[in-house]
Amino acid sequence: MREASVIAPRSLREALRAVGRKGVVAVAGGTDLLVRLHDVAAGERPSFLVLDGVRTLHSIAPRGKGLALGPLVTFSEIERSSLLRTLAPQLVEAASVAGSVQIRNRATLGGNIANGSPAGDLLPPLYVLSARLELSYSGGRRQVMIEDFFKGPGETVLRRNELITRVVFERSQNRGFFLRLAVRRALAISKVSVAANVSLRNGRVQSVRIALGAVAPTVLRASRTEEYLLGRELDRDSIETACGLASGEAAPIDDIRSEADYRREMVGVLLGRGLLRIASAR
């Protein structure tokens, strides 16, 4: 990687000026990008826009009833943030099971989003937290809901001249979880993951969001399942039905990590376990 050049801005403005340039690729933590570029010859590598120096992109701050996170917040910072632990436990759970210590110390929220992998562990939590992404470009910015951000595996609506500059989401409802299955206990990409954000009132589901990871080209909201659960009590029957519905909503494939049938079934298993946890915590 010796020959590639580097732009290391100290301010967002500088960064935004550089981001649109031809052959420039923004680097946050680099834990995915540099893996992808591993086999790319030095001469063919892009110029790196190294964002580390832009202070404002590292912040974790309350905003309104929710939170605003800079895209350079690392998995480790999420894992350790007491604020997030209360306000977005799904996100904390997801951040703490991903990769390894070394990866979590470098991997960032923004990177996980921009990477656009359906198996990205932070994404299902962000879906259920109704995250909104602030995308900035030189001279302006726009907001995109997370669900609208992804077009397919590795494909997003982020334009070449834009950077994710903030991730804003509401605080979690009173119940939430993130569960996943992976090929080994650590340092593994999810085979299937489920996140949920549920609020209960008088034992009934007042609001619910469920997102499924690694079972479709993008992270998936299990909307029919959500619809079914809304207003219901969480009991064995309703959970059983919800699990079945959620499995049906998944559209997984066979790959080297797992099999479609298994994944589909596991969506239900994980959702069931999470919902049972919520139900029994009442």
Partner 1 sequence: MKLKFTVNRRATTLEVTGAERVIDLLRERLGLVGTKEGCGKGECGACTVLLDGSPVCSCLLLSSQVAGREITTIEGLSEGESLHPVQAAFAETGAVQCGFCTPGLVLSSAALLADIPAPSREQMKRALAGNLCRCTGYQKIFEAVELASRNMRREKRRRR
Partner 2 sequence: MAVVGRRVRRVESLDRVKGVGSFTDDLTYAGMLHAAVVRSPVARARIKHIETGRALRRAGAEAVFTFQDIPGRNVVPIILEDQPFLAEEYVNYVGEPIAVVLASERETARAAAKEVSVRLEELPPILDLLKARRHPRVHLFGEDNVFKHLRIRRGDTAAAFSSCDVIVENEYRTPYQEHAYIEPEAMIAIPHPDGTIEIRGSMQCPFYVRKAVTSVLGLPESRVWVVQAATGGAFGGKEDVPSLLACQVALPAWKLKKPVKLVYDRTEDMVSTSKRHPSWVRYKSGATRDGVLKAVEVEYVIDGGAYSTLSPAVLYRGTVHAAGPYRCDNVKVDSYVVATNRVPTGAFRGFGSPQILFAAESQMDQLAERLGLHPAELRRRNLLRAGDTTITGQKLTVSVGLEETLDRVLEASGWPTGQKRDDGVGYGLSTVFYGVGLGAAGKHLARTGARVIVHADGSVTFSVGTTELGQGMTTVLSQIVSEELGTPLECVQMIAPDTSRVPDSGPTVASRSTTMSGNALKDACGKIRDVLLAEASRALRIPVSDLRIVEGAIVPAKEEGPSMPIDEAIKSCTTARLPLSAEGWHVSTSTSWDDRTGQGDAYVTYAWATNLAKVRVDRETGEVTVLKMWAAHDVGKAVNPTLAEGQIEGGILQGLGFALTENMFTDERGVIVNPDFSTYIIPTAADSPEIVSLLVEHPYPDGPHGAKGFGEQPLMGVAPAVANAVRDAVGVRITELPITPEKIWNALRSSRRVPVTQR
The b/e string for 52-91 (b: 16+ C-beta within 10 A; e otherwise) is: bebeebbeeeeeeebbbbbbbbbbbbbbebeebeebbbbb
Q: Are 127 and 176 in contact (CB under 8 A)?
A: no
Positions 53 through 72 that interact with partner 1 (CB under 8 A): 53
Q: How far is the CB of 31 from partner 1 (least distance, A)?
A: 5
Q: How far is the CB of 240 from partner 2 (least distance, A)?
A: 5
C-alpha 15/C-alpha 98 separation (Å) is: 28
Q: Which of 40, 61, 145, 187 binds partner 1 (CB under 8 A)?
A: 187
Positions 97 through 136 that interact with partner 2 (CB under 8 A): 100
Told to check if 217 binds partner 1 by CB under 8 A, we report no
Residue 268 binding result from partner 2, partner 1, none, given CB thresholds of 5 to 8 Å by partner type: partner 2
Strand order in the sheet with 140-145: 60-63, 66-69, 163-169, 132-137, 140-145
Report the residue number, 214 or 239, with the smaller CB distance to partner 2: 239
Residues 168-207: x/- map of binding to partner 2 (CB under 8 A)? -------------x-xxxxxxx------------------
Q: Which residues pair with 177 in a beta bridge?
A: 196
Told to check if 257 binds partner 1 by CB under 8 A, we report no
Q: How many amino acids of this chain bind partner 1 (CB under 8 A)? A: 31
Report the residue number, 164 or 242, with the smaller CB distance to partner 2: 242
C-alpha 189/C-alpha 210 separation (Å) is: 20
3-state class of 183 per DSSP?
A: coil
- Residues in the site for partner 1, rule: CB under 8 A? 1-6, 8, 27, 29-31, 34-35, 38, 45, 47-48, 50, 52-53, 76, 99-103, 105-106, 185-187
